Amino acid sequence: MEWDWAIDGWILFVGTLSACSCALLGNYLVLRRLSLMGDAISHAVLPGLAIAFLITSSRAAWPMFAGAVIVGVITALLTQVITRYGKVEHGAAMGVVFSILFAIGLVLIRQVADHVDLDPGCVLYGNIVQIALDAQFEDVPPAARNLACVFVLNILFVGLFYKELKISSFDPDLATTLGINATLMHYALMVMVAVTTVANFESVGSILVIAMLIVPAATAHLLTDRLGVMILLSQLIACFSAVTGHLLACYGPGWVGVDAVANTSAMMAVVVGFVLFVAIFLAPEQGLLAKWYHRMKLSSRIVRQDVLGLLYRWEEMNGESGRSMRRDEVLTVVGGGSLPTRALRKLLRQNEIVRMMDGRDVVYRLTDSGKLAASQLVGAHRLWESYLAKHFHLASDHLHEPANRMEHYITPELREELREQLTDPKHDPHGKSIPSEPM
């Protein structure tokens, strides 16, 4: 497929605009757990379009726009009414409202469609290519102009009410005490969603409006905890998906050997879905990979500390001059597998233990720095045991397990505090001595 800037340029422009305007509002929908409201509104505006047409008998843009927006807001209102007075769960109430409205819209549209050519492909479900073709006759396609207006409107809305939206999204009660009308903000947001949804029908179609409303914001939410950054990221993701989506739609089928052109806006939804898929795995803190890495790091630290504690107790029991612990004995206690082996190797590298030969057996001894680390760990363990015994009145055979888990998370400050609380004990409940802090 050859690339024609006069057409593809407009497609990129319109696609990006609609993706960005949806993604902007989507941030608040996702944060308020209202994602499905976008879904509901975009289905339910159908009867609004049909009724506007029935009343005005023309395809003029403004009445249709107004009709759709009004029905969109009615959807939000009806959902609220059914939730409150019918005591139906919010999601189900939304399903009830939008499917019935959609059905009514279908019936109406059937009556309307005979009078005048109300092409569902154009008016309801978008046709990004047609918009670009309009550009051949006019300088700027009207859809692009409308979308630009809506985008600017959305930016103004979010920019002017940034603080109000933020507070009422995260803490509606706080918003009320601060004198912000949270209900008003809710419906203002719903109006903006309806406006954006309707304006976007022409370019990306209703299901893909939902994709752009939810997916970029959800992806950005995986990447950051700050609202401002989240909004910026969602815009970047929306831009990227729009551009990549169109390129893939044009050339993607060719790469897999199919002579065809895929649907542009559908491909945008696929791309944004793929971005989310990648983010679920690769996000810096929320990602599966990052979580897995942190878990691995933690468990290997725990195993290393277990080895140090074990060697410390061994030397404490057998005395400085006694027999050193053999490798197979260490592994029996700590457990087999690759984790303890790697832990031993790392401890050797960090010079916390040394490896010696005792006859034909490999044995380990703590070095001075290893002894220091181990004494802190065992100190933490025994302090915690004393603390549990004193304040929770646990039996002495119930102390070891919780202390064994806690010891890895006790910081020097906490050790200090425990010592103060327990008036600097010398022995734990089992009678073992608690190593003192090094000076």
Residues 204-263 that bind other proteins (CB under 8 A): 205, 207-208, 210-211, 213-215, 217-218, 221-222, 249, 253, 258-263
The reply on whether position 17 binds other proteins by CB under 8 A is no
- CB of 56: closest distance to other proteins in angstroms? 17
- CB of 273: closest distance to other proteins in angstroms? 3
SS3 label, residue 260: coil
- CB of 206: closest distance to other proteins in angstroms? 9
State which of residues 59, 66, 70, 102 lies at the interface with other proteins (CB under 8 A): 102
Amino acid at 152: V
Q: Interface with other proteins by CB under 8 A: which range of 66-74, 123-131, 182-190, 231-239?
A: 123-131
* Residue 201: both structure tokens together: 């029908």
The reply on whether position 100 binds other proteins by CB under 8 A is yes
- CB of 219: closest distance to other proteins in angstroms? 9
Evaluated on CA atoms 323, 329, 333, 337, the torsion sign reads positive
Footprint (CB under 8 A) of other proteins, residues 279-308? 280, 283, 286, 288
Tokens 């050997």 belong to 257
Nearer to other proteins, 104 or 372 (CB): 104
State which of residues 50, 51, 52, 109 lies at the interface with other proteins (CB under 8 A): 109
- CB of 80: closest distance to other proteins in angstroms? 14
Sheet of 353-358: strands edge to edge? 325-326, 361-366, 353-358
Let me know: does 434 contact 426? Beta carbons within 8 Å.
yes
The residues, ordered by sequence, that sit 6+ positions from 112 with a Cβ below 8 Å of its Cβ are 50, 53, 54, 118
The reply on whether position 124 binds other proteins by CB under 8 A is yes
Q: Which residues of 334-355 are buried (b: 16+ CB within 10 A; e: fewer)?
A: beeeebbeebbebbeeeebbee
Footprint (CB under 8 A) of other proteins, residues 171-210? 205, 207-208, 210
SS3 label, residue 189: helix
Nearer to other proteins, 254 or 335 (CB): 254
Query: Can you give the length of the chain in residues?
Result: 439
Tell me how far apart the alpha carbons of residues 201 and 18 are, in angstroms, rounded to a whole number. 9
Q: Where are the alpha helices (DSSP H) in 263-337?
A: 264-282, 288-318, 327-334
Nearer to other proteins, 100 or 356 (CB): 100
Q: Interface with other proteins by CB under 8 A: which range of 129-137, 145-153, 362-370, 422-430?
A: 129-137
The reply on whether position 160 binds other proteins by CB under 8 A is no
**DSSP conformation class of 99:** H
State which of residues 24, 41, 76, 94 lies at the interface with other proteins (CB under 8 A): 94
Query: Per-residue string for binding with other proteins, 38-67, x by CB under 8 A?
Result: xx---x------------------------
- CB of 423: closest distance to other proteins in angstroms? 40
# residues near other proteins by CB under 8 A = 84
**DSSP conformation class of 396:** G
The reply on whether position 349 binds other proteins by CB under 8 A is no
Task: Find residue 366's DSSP bridge partners.
Answer: 353
State which of residues 9, 57, 58, 91 lies at the interface with other proteins (CB under 8 A): 91
Nearer to other proteins, 133 or 232 (CB): 133
- CB of 242: closest distance to other proteins in angstroms? 13
Instruction: Work out the burial of residue 156: count CB atoms within 10 Å of its CB; fewer than 13 is exposed, 13-18 middle, 19 or more buried.
Output: exposed
SS3 label, residue 161: coil
The reply on whether position 273 binds other proteins by CB under 8 A is yes
Tell me how far apart the alpha carbons of residues 168 and 189 are, in angstroms, rounded to a whole number. 11
